[in-house]
Structure 1
Amino acid sequence: MLPAFLTAIFFAFTAISARQSASLIGPLRANVYRLLVAMVLLGLISSVFRREMPIGLISLFALAGGIGFGFGGACMMRALQYLGSPRALLFVESGTAILAALFAWLFLEDSLTLKQTLSCGIILAGILFAGSSWIKEEAEARGSPMIGYLAVAGAAFFQATSLVLSRHAFLAAMEMSLQVDKFSAAFIRLSGGLLVAGMLLAAFKLRPAKKDSSPVITVNRLFLKGRPVSGQPGFWILLNALFGPVLGVTCWLWAVSLLNPGLVQSIAATAPLISIPIARLLERHSLGTRFYLGAPVAILGITSLMLW
């Protein structure tokens, strides 16, 4: 389960950086630029570990990337812009866990046991309760933008579909007795994602993003130890690319190659528990009581998974 835990850590950091870059230059531009940066980084890494792969597997990973990075990434960027990183991450990761488990059961006949299902339910319940105080607070401050919640639903659906397609590719490789390099798989997924993201950007013909009148917190209001954090888009795009498509997704694929997608995503969904304290530190707020009550519940669920 180590790769799933690493995924949660990296996803927590990428959500914060993604939100800031989306607020500065717009969600679709931020998504394309982070994929371009990640393409260079993953290209260099995968060239070292490269292994030959059948065209069928390449097509599956590319399709998974187009759906997850392209459509899912665009929806996630929009959700982050309207709902904030902890709230958007909370809903998207939890929703993805439920849908991934459902899709794996329906299409791959890869189901969770009753004990695993109960443990995953405990994890998600703890996550949602821990983040509920933040959700209420930001909902009061921002209102309830419907476009943000629609983006969350889209991101969860596309990411779950992408996750299950990746699992299908790894299972197919196992049947052929092939070892798939995770960095190469991540690079192929990224290639498909970049193609779709570029097509979306071209279709919408985006211009530089205008300032939003909604109270979205931008980098100019972020502080660390009393000093303002960088307001340069390139800084946040680089962090987003590193923690998301490069490290986060590679660990995600590593975990999916070993475990049921719903199980992997339930652990990865704990990312908000990491994201919330970091975002609070940067935005100079205090954590609510529900966070301290919900987090141990999620940890209990993870512990039960490890024991069972």
Structure 2
Amino acid sequence: MIGALGTTLLFACNALFANRSAKMLGSNQANLARLAVAVIILGTWAHVAGQGIGGAGFGWFFVSGLVGFGIGGVAMFQALPRLGSPLAMLIVQCGSALVAAAGERLWLGTQLAPVELTFVALTLLGVALGLMPRGLPGVPPAALRAGAAWAFLSAAGQGLGAVLSRRAFQTIARAHEFIDPPTSAYQRALAGLGVAVVAVAIGYSIQCRNRAGSRRAGSPDPAALSPAGTGEISAGPEDPALHSQPRAWPWVFANALCGPVLGVTCFQWALSTTPAGIVQSIVATAPLATIPLAMWFEHSRPRALYYAGAVLAVAGIIGLFLTR
């Protein structure tokens, strides 16, 4: 449970760092860079003090990273520009908790007690209220449907990724082995890095094709209109002064540290002892914790509904702590 709370706080900080680095490098490049840094840091630990890529649970952790880091992460980046951050995060965070709870119940037989389900529901209700957008984004219906599909896919990926990690820990326990949380995070991050490389390669291929088409049509190069010449469409306003890759690396490092290094390590620690539905419900409150930080760093102001949602979410988390 402490691990889940630590994950929430780290992911809350990570959202700001991820947004900053994505604006500088583009989302695919920023994701690849942070995972590369994370694999170096976690890999050093795993191969010096941990189990490296050994252990009975490696296969499950790798698939967990493929589904959670890979499918869940890529789908999230597709949902954000189509739905906007509030609606996309609402679907992904609440949906992933429901998928985790249902998936673990159906596959692993872990059933939450009625009082636990009550506090999970209270927590997710708070998240839904706190992240409730003012209205649907002003995009064509086709883009809205596509964004919703990507968001639900991301929720399924992240929720199933948590369940797969729980399956890995069960396999390790049955084999009478031990794995430390940083090593399990490393084994997941390896798969995520592979997916990130594929995503960048696909993006680069599309960029080259668009450039060739632009030259034939005599229109401007699409890559010139995107951050750092990546050819990507940004979800938010950009500062031209930020388009310097060397300046992005402190943000990339902070993104890696708070996300896949410390954040996922705490997440794996929590999953080693606590059902995925409970862990994912607590971690779902991370966007609510990001908002006060955004008020400080970005001078943004939340709606009054945010405060009501935050109170309900905190009450739900306290209830979950008291029931464990």
* TM-score bracket, shorter-length normalisation: 0.7 to 0.9
1:111 partner letter: Q
Q: Which residues in structure 2 correspond to 1:105-144 (within 5 Å)?
A: 105-132=105-132, 135-136=133-134, 139=136
What number of residue pairs does the alignment pair up? 297
Q: Separation in 2 of the partners of 1:219 and 1:103?
A: 42
2:15 partner letter: A
Q: Deviations over 1:165-222 (max 9, x none)?
A: 110000111122211111111111111111122123323425443474x771336699
Q: Which residues in structure 2 correspond to 1:117-266 (within 5 Å)?
A: 117-132=117-132, 135-136=133-134, 139=136, 145-146=143-144, 147-204=146-203, 205=205, 207=207, 208-210=229-231, 212=233, 216-218=236-238, 232-266=247-281
Q: Separation in 1 of the partners of 2:309 and 2:322?
A: 20
Deviates more, 1:241-250 or 1:298-307: 298-307
Q: Deviations over 1:7-46 (max 9, x none)?
A: 1111112222223333443332222121111111112232
1:282 paired with 2:297, answer yes
2:51 partner letter: R
The corresponding residue for 2:212 is: none
Report deviation, 1:271. 0.4
Deviates more, 1:191-200 or 1:141-150: 141-150
TM-score by length of 2: 0.82
Q: Separation in 2 of the partners of 1:100 and 1:128?
A: 17
Q: Which residues in structure 2 correspond to 1:34-73 (within 5 Å)?
A: 34-51=34-51, 56-73=56-73
Q: In structure 2, list runs of 5 or more residues that go unmatched.
A: 208-228
1:304 paired with 2:319, answer yes
Q: Separation in 2 of the partners of 1:117 and 1:68?
A: 23
Q: In structure 1, list runs of 5 or more residues that go unmatched.
A: 223-229
Q: Separation in 1 of the partners of 2:239 and 2:139?
A: 17
Q: Give the 3 Å change call, closer, same or farther, for CA 75–211 of structure 1 in structure 2.
A: closer
Q: Separation in 2 of the partners of 1:211 and 1:51?
A: 38
1:27 partner letter: S
Once superposed, which parts of structure 1, at least 4 consecutive aligned residues long, lie more than 6 Å away? 141-144
The corresponding residue for 1:226 is: none
CA contact under 8 A between 2:67 and 2:157: conserved in structure 1?
yes
- Greater Rg over alpha carbons, structure: 2
CA contact under 8 A between 2:13 and 2:258: conserved in structure 1?
yes
Q: Secondary structure at the match of 2:301?
A: coil
Q: Separation in 1 of the partners of 2:103 and 2:157?
A: 11
Q: Secondary structure at the match of 1:136?
A: coil
Q: Secondary structure at the match of 2:57?
A: helix
The corresponding residue for 2:286 is: 271
Q: Separation in 2 of the partners of 1:169 and 1:282?
A: 39
